[in-house]
Structure 1
């Protein structure tokens, strides 16, 4: 059975294990996090504390951007972005689908969460899919805000893939 998770695009670039799950996975990625990849690529601000990790992550971000800019994928993305909540599924490998969601921030959670966090939340609620994150403070805000989403820490990725609870 294919598992689905709402996730930020940069996490796909940073964490290689996400591309080699033990079971088939569909990552639902709000489009705003794709835009964030371009910002990270063009930024001079460090992404990672270690220089070697920084170079590796920037390379992976560039590779992901290059993949998304291939004509076939770009056409699918452009078509999906014309309609709110439309999806563009992109096959990354036999076991991994990267589905870009044309989500938008309607400020429903704007007081407590930034726009990207809000889009992650809204996508998870709309798709009734767990959220996967590497940000403990985001998890705490979700719990404290009693946001109705299931969330997994990235450290629990393999458990999340194998978990049968919905």
Structure 2
């Protein structure tokens, strides 16, 4: 049985280990985070602080864009994009990783406290009862400060999350 996580598309490009988990995983990726890949790839702004790392990550972003633009995968995505909150058919990456693209609908539920992408990640997590994996300490802090009832893992705790994790029942109990 695979574990599900909500994640931004760019994290898969930055952290290659996310594509080699010890157990099967499904990544729920809000569609708008895929659209951000195009902006990042063409932007003069660096994604990574070191020039060599930035070039590598932008290359990986290009590969990810090519994967999503593949005609077979594009057809699967288009089916999901017609209806809010529809999830695409599975897009297998390798035997242990599958992408599921979510046509998330940001609704400004958290006002200006969260940006639209953060809101989509949180709402997807709530709807699908799946933890968020992120490298953004600010987002984790906002989730705690606003007492948003979602589970979040730092990307560096990903293997722990895959192997055993903390189940919602454990952290919701008094």
2:171 aligned partner: none
Correspondence 1:47-66 to 2 at 5 A: 47-66=47-66
Query: How much does 1:79 deviate?
Result: 1.1
Contact 1:7/1:27, CA 8 A, preserved across alignment: yes
**Aligned residue in 2 for 1:37:** 37
1:91 matched to which residue of 2?
92
SS across alignment from 1:156: helix
Q: C-alpha distance in 2, partners of 1:111/1:47?
A: 24
Q: Aligned-pair distance for 1:137?
A: 1.2
TM-score, with normalisation over the residues of structure 2? 0.93
Matching of residue 24 in structure 1 with residue 27 in structure 2: no
Partner of 1:162: 163
| Per-residue deviation, 1:119 | 0.2
Residues 31-88 of structure 1: CA deviation (Å, up to 9, x unaligned): 0100000110111111110011001000000000001111100001111100111111
SS of equivalent to 1:91: strand
Contact 1:110 1:118 in 2 (8 A): no
Q: Which runs of 5+ in 2 are unaligned?
A: 168-174
Instruction: Show the counterpart of 1:140.
Output: 141
For structure 1, the residue ranges without an aligned partner over 5 or more in a row are none
Q: What is the CA–CA distance in structure 2 between the aligned matches of 1:110 and 1:81, rounded to whole Å?
A: 24
Partner of 1:77: 77
* Aligned 8 A contact 1:27 1:96 in 2: yes
Q: How many residues align?
A: 166
Q: Report the Cα offset of residue 109 of structure 1.
A: 1.4
TM-score between the two structures when normalised by the length of structure 1: 0.98
Q: Summarize the Cα distance change of 1:69–1:164 in structure 2 as closer, same or farther, 3 Å threshold.
A: same
1:6 matched to 2:6? The reply is yes
1:164 Cα deviation from its structure 2 partner: 4.8
For residues 80 and 99 of structure 2, what CA distance do their matches in structure 1 show? 13
Cα distance between partner residues in 2 of 1:108 and 1:79: 26
Question: What secondary structure does 1:5 align onto?
Answer: strand
